[in-house]
Amino acid sequence: MLYCRRIVILGVLGKVMRAWISNHKISRDSAILSISYGLAAIYWYRSSNATVLDVLAKVSSTALLTYYAARTDSKQMTAGMLFHCFGDGLIELPGKSLIPAMLTFLVGHSINIARFQKNRFSLSELNLPRVLAMAAFTIYGAAFTHLLTTKTSGVIQYAIPIYSLAISTMFLLACIQKERSLRVFLGALLYVASDNIIGANLFVKKIPAANYLSWPLYFLGQRMMLPDLHDVETVHKKSHPR
């Protein structure tokens, strides 16, 4: 009965939102992002005792980001977000769902790696402070990965280094992007911070309110690594003048 009430409420809110958007002439893309933020906030607020509907709100929030990514006409960006969206759902399933979720996220990272490869500076173009910062992160990542492997056993012990290599590569490539460099770097940094919190909470020591910390970092990181559509349209117009 409670679920039915929530579904009815969500339906009514959807109609109200549609009417409000129509009356105020808000763009579809702004509406998509606003709804995505709202759903992410709902899950964040309920994450310590999430119900099926709360998890649905979580997955829907990243599904909307996936749809937003699709509006950029970047197949790689869309595919990367899609696999992360699947992972967001898998990791919430009861039982031994961590490995399938990690595999799904791994595919998403691999796609992002391929995407970031296209728009990066070469190593010879990097200044010394950036190289040193990347080296420091690499050392930290290796140390943290080693810590996690000492706290685990079985399949997960072998899965962690593979996953860590993928997310570290994604982050290092995010550090050397030519376009939107600061924003992409910050987004990747938030993502890595989120994963570190999850890893430490699962395998090292329980962190109070870990999900309250990790989820907003993850969601904001994903959003920041996506471009704004008006920027994409501006670049497209410059590249294809009439």
Q: Do the domain assignments include residue 5? A: no
- Is 70 exceeded by the pLDDT of residue 241? no
Q: pLDDT tens-digit profile of 71-113?
A: 887 899 999 999 999 999 999 988 888 999 999 999 999 999 9
The answer to whether residue 110 is domain-embedded is yes
Please give the residue that has the higher pLDDT: either 157 or 233. 157
Q: Is residue 13 part of a domain?
A: no
234 band by pLDDT with thresholds 50, 70 and 90 = very low
Say what the pLDDT of residue 237 is: 43
Structural domain contains residue 16? no
**Three-class SS of 183-225:** HHHHHHHHHHHHHHHHHHHHHHCCCCCHHHHHHHHHHHHHHHH
Q: What is the pLDDT of residues 160-186, one digit of tens each?
A: 999 999 999 999 999 999 988 899 999
1 inside domain: no
Does residue 161 lie in a domain region?
yes
Q: Residue 18 has what pLDDT?
A: 59
User: Do the domain assignments include residue 141?
Assistant: yes
Residue 143 lies in a domain: yes
What per-residue confidence (pLDDT) applies to 11? 56
Please state the domain count of the chain: 1
- Range of the structural domain that residue 74 is part of: 21-228
